[in-house]
Amino acid sequence: MAFDDHPLEKTEPPTQPEPPPGSPSWLRALVIGLAGVLAGALLMFWWMSRAQPTPSAPPSPTAPDVAIGSNRPKRQTIDLPTLDSSDSLLRELVAALSKHPLLARLMATDGLVRAATLAVVQIGDGRTPIDALKPLRPTTRLQIFGTTSGRLDPTSYQRWDGPAAALVSISAPDAAQLYVNVKPLIDQAYIELGHPGEDFDTAIVRAIQMLADTPEITVDPLLLRRSGYFEHDDSVLRSLRPVQKQLMLMGPDNKRRLMAWLHAFASALDLKTK
């Protein structure tokens, strides 16, 4: 006999108890039947009690899948002026957060909310916000090693140290709170630019993404001198959007400072960026 033919457990047929003397056969059958029904019912009850799943307890407030509240700052109670008369308030709010002289020069211009809103939209489109950031423009010119073409002189990057420092002189969390406080004015300016029903948060994310897509360079770029401007010799760099080229010309250190600040600003607003 094969091994698999052997039973796992050897049993003997149960011994039937002898019926009491004089018991009729029909009474014995009835007793046995009732006992079988009772045993089956008990077995079924036991099986069902094991099969039913135990109700799970409600998740605790500290469970990982419980939604966590947004870290985005709440708007503080501020009586906002009209968009046309908002410059004074914005200057006051910014001055309380930073005393950087270049930032003060930028805030001395008019139409601040509209200019800032337009600048973000232009950056998202890949354009350089020349008019909005004109007060931060360096007074010296970019230099190259050569007459008609040459590598960019790395000292030219230092022209943007001051403007970069001015732009990041307000801490990212404070800037996020300032943005939330004056966002109704920004939304109004955004509508004027032709974006009704859109959230300006998306414009911020788009602008940051545009800048984040600027490639990293390991050597100073080779530039060609043109009439009134410089052009990249590398075709890949030449195909970049204007604002990306401008960011590269600020130098790798200033670029890292600006991008780190922008990502921290977006994080303080709970905005997802690259």
**Tens-place pLDDT, residues 135-180:** 999 999 999 999 999 999 999 999 999 999 999 999 999 999 999 9
Instruction: Decide which of 177 and 5 is more confident.
Output: 177
Handedness of CA 113, 114, 115, 119 (dihedral sign): positive
Q: Where are the domains of the chain?
A: 89-136+160-217+235-268
Note the pLDDT of residue 62: 36
| Spatial separation of the C-alpha atoms in residues 255 and 251, rounded to whole Å | 6
Mean pLDDT of 2-23: 41
Lookup: tokens for 108: 């001395």
For residue 232, list its beta bridge partners. 223
Note the pLDDT of residue 69: 55
Note the pLDDT of residue 71: 85
Mean pLDDT of 199-228: 95
